[in-house]
Structure 1
Amino acid sequence: MNMTLPESRVHRMRIAAANCLKRRFILSLNAVLGVFETSSKFSIEEVDCSYSIQRQGRAKEVKEVVISGPAK
C-alpha cells in the first residue's frame, strides 16, 4: 500500500507524540508513510494483518505497524 498522510496531519501527530507519549504504550496503526515518519522516535514493527466482515468472503490483507514506547 502506498498511501501517505497529509503533511499537516503528520505535523500534528509529531507534536502530539513528542508532548504526550512519555509513558509506556502500545499503539497499532495502518502502515502508511506518515506513520513511520511521525513515530520514528519509538520502536516500530510492521506486521501483516487480515480483516474480514463477519467471516463473509475473502479477508483483506493489509499492513499495520505496532508502535511502542517510551521514546528511544
Structure 2
Amino acid sequence: MSDSFSYLIPIPPVAINAYFEVYPVTYAFYEEAKLRQDHAECCQWYAQVADQHRQELAQMQGEWNPLQWFYRGRRA
C-alpha cells in the first residue's frame, strides 16, 4: 500500500484494547487519590473545629450562668 493512503488504514485493535484496559485502573487510582485527599482535608477541618469548641467550652465553664439560679431547686 502506498504512503498516500496510510491515513485510511485503521488503528490496530490491540492498541485500542490496551487503552480501554488501562483507563478504568487509572480512573480508579485518581478517584482514590482524590477521595483520600478530601478525607484528609475533612479530618483537618474537624480537628480545627473540635479544638475551637474545646476552647469555647473551657471559657464557658468559667463564666457565671444566670439560668442556674432558676434551676437550682429542680435538680433531682
Q: Report the TM-score range of the alignment, normalised by the length of the smaller protein.
A: under 0.3
**Structure label with greater radius of gyration:** 2
Task: Give the alignment's TM-score, normalised by structure 2.
Answer: 0.24
TM-score of the superposed pair, with normalisation by structure 1: 0.25
Q: Which has the higher helix share?
A: 2
Higher relative contact order (CA 8 A, sep 6+): 1
